[in-house]
Structure 1
């Protein structure tokens, strides 16, 4: 299997090609640094992303608070996590780094506030 990957480790955005089967990587080409090679390997075997979204705030000065995952989330779990996040609401006030959802899907990853919202 061949997978094209654009590295996001630094601003260069190296375009890599990773060839392999399952978790076995045969070759990686197109990277310019060791960090890029590691990124390409991880992206092929277990792609992850920091999830960002927003959650409804009751009685807040603003109706929504920005949230993000505390750690990268497996790409194949993002839609399942978003279903939970979109149904969540919190009471104001919300402080930055407040845990909005703890240990989502048992992954050891929290959904945390990335902004603060005062009460009305």
Structure 2
């Protein structure tokens, strides 16, 4: 019988779940230990198709810093994270960038985009231009 112990990460409670393959359950799995309904969904998803949100950085040129924080617009299958990182690590963007701007569209045909997590202005020697850029973004 397939069985797995895990910690639920959906809410702050961090329930200790026991997920067991079950022929009598409509979902095919029995979940124990959850204190909220989301734990059941999480446990089953972890057994059938685990996904994760991905946060990382890409190289940015013409900015005051060298890396731009980015994230997925949704979750991607856990087995694709390494492949996604290979693609993301090849990307270099140029400032200015606005928060939410798509950096990579539909990464690995998942339907999920890699988007900027913050706005970043072009590098400027003029402090008043930098302030104006951040007030707009």
Shorter-chain TM range is over 0.9
Q: Which moved more, 1:4-13 or 1:51-60?
A: 4-13
Q: Which moved more, 1:25-34 or 1:6-15?
A: 25-34
Matched, 1:25 2:16: no
- Answer whether contact 1:18 1:25 (CA < 8 A) is retained: no
Q: Distance in 2 between matches of 1:53 and 1:79?
A: 12
Say which structure is richer in strand: 1
Give the corresponding residue for 1:101: 104
Residue 26 of structure 1 deviates from its aligned partner by 3.7
Query: Which has the larger Rg?
Result: 2
Matched, 1:4 2:14: no
Name structure 1 gaps, 5 residues minimum: none
Give the corresponding residue for 2:53: 50
Give the corresponding residue for 1:74: 77
Residue 90 of structure 1 deviates from its aligned partner by 0.2
Matched, 1:60 2:56: no
- Answer whether contact 2:29 2:44 (CA < 8 A) is retained: no
Change over 3 Å in CA distance of 1:26–1:71 after alignment to 2: closer
Q: Provide the secondary structure at the position in 2 that maps to 1:54.
A: strand
| CA-to-aligned-CA distance 1:64-91 (integer Å, 9 cap, x gap) | 1100000101001000000000111101
Higher RCO structure, 1 or 2 (CA under 8 Å, sep 6+): 1
Q: Distance in 2 between matches of 1:20 and 1:52?
A: 32
Name structure 2 gaps, 5 residues minimum: 124-137
